Structure 1
Amino acid sequence: MSMYFHLRAVPPSALRNSATWFQRLFEDDWDTVRERIGRHREEVLDKLYGDVERLYCGIPPNHAPEGPRTQVVLGGGPVFHTDPALPPFLLLTASQVGRVAEFLKGADFDDLWRHSRIRLLRPYGAPDAEPEVRGLFAATHRDLTAFYAQTAAYGDAVVKWLLV
C-alpha cells in the first residue's frame, strides 16, 4: 500500500472551504489544477512523512511549542472529508504559510538532524546507512523550504491531504 502526503498551494481567491472542492483539488492532475487556479505548486512526501514531521517537531520530551515548526508537515486547520473514514484535509492560511516559510528559512538542518538523528535512523538499522538517510532528509528539507518560500512569496494558502 502506498501512502503519500500531498501539499498543494492555492491562491486565497481560488480557495473554497469545502471538502468537496478539496477532494477535486487532489483528484485533478497538475494541468487541470494549473488551469483552474492559475498556477500549480505541489510537494509530495512518501509514507515516511511522519519521520519528516519528527524532524521539525522534536521528540518527547522536547516537543516544539505550537507554531510554525509544528505546521510544516501535519499542521493546519482540519476540514473534514465527506467520507468520515478518510482523513481530514488540512488548511494553512496564507499568513500561516508565511510563518512556516520564515521558520524553514531560518532553520539549521544540522541542528534539526542532531536533535532527531537517533530516532530517525532507528528504522534503517545499520549505522552505515546514516549518510544516505541524512541526505534524504536534507533533500526533503530543501524541497519543503523552497515550496513554502515560493508559496509565501505568492501569498498562497496550502491544502494538505494524506492519500492512500
Structure 2
Amino acid sequence: MSFHLHLRAVPSAEVRPDSAWIEPFMRESWDNHAAEYDAGIADSIEKDFAQINQLYTGAPDGPADPGNPSGLPIFGGTSVPREDGPPFVLLSAEQVADAAAFLSVTTFDSRWEASGAAISAHWGGEPAFVREIFLGHHEDLVAFYRAAADSGKAVLKAFWY
C-alpha cells in the first residue's frame, strides 16, 4: 500500500475551501503530477512525511504550539474535511510565506543532528542512506515553498492512501 502527501501551489483567488471543489482539483493535479512537479507548482512525499514533520518540529505529529512555523510545511494549515479520507489542508499565501521563511533559515544539518537518530531508527536503515533521502525531501520542500511564496500562492495538501 502506498501513501503520499501531495502539495499543490494555487493562486489564492482560485482557492475555495470546500472539499467539493478541492477533491476534483487535487485528483486532476495528482493525475498530472509529473508535469506539475517539473513546472515547480507541485511536490509530493511518499510515506516519509510524518518523519519529515518530526525533522522540522521534533515530533511526528507536530509542535505543541500550532502557531509555530516549523509545523507549516507538512501538517500545518486549515483542515477542510471530506467524507472519504483524511481532510485536505489549506495554507494561505501568508502561511506559505511563513513556511518558506522557516525553511530558508533552518539548516538541514541542525535539524538532522536533533532528530536524525530517531528518524533513522524508525526506518531501520543506515543513517547515512536515510539522511540522504531526507536531505532530498528537504531540498525539494525548500524549492517548492520558496517558489510558491515568491509568486504569492496558497498551497493545498492532500493525503492519498
Secondary structure at 2:7 match in 1: strand
**2:157 paired with 1:160:** yes
Change (3 A) 1:157 1:122: same
What percentage of residue pairs aligned between the two structures are identical?
33
Structure of larger gyration radius: 1
* Partner AA of 1:107 in structure 2: T
What is the match of residue 5 of structure 2?
5
Count of equivalent residues? 154
Shift of 1:64: 6.2
What is the match of residue 18 of structure 1?
18
If the length of structure 1 is used for normalisation, what is the TM-score?
A: 0.86
Q: Any unmatched runs of 5+ in structure 1?
A: none
**2:145 paired with 1:144:** no
Q: Any unmatched runs of 5+ in structure 2?
A: none
Change (3 A) 1:22 1:136: same
RMSD: 2.2
What is the match of residue 43 of structure 1?
43
- Residues in 2 aligned to 1:42 and 1:68: alpha-carbon distance in whole angstroms: 20
Q: Is the 8 A contact 2:73 2:99 kept in 1?
A: yes
- Residues in 1 aligned to 2:21 and 2:45: alpha-carbon distance in whole angstroms: 22
Secondary structure at 1:75 match in 2: coil
Encode CA deviations 1:20-58: one digit per residue, 9 max, x unaligned: 111011211338x97xxxx87111010121111110111
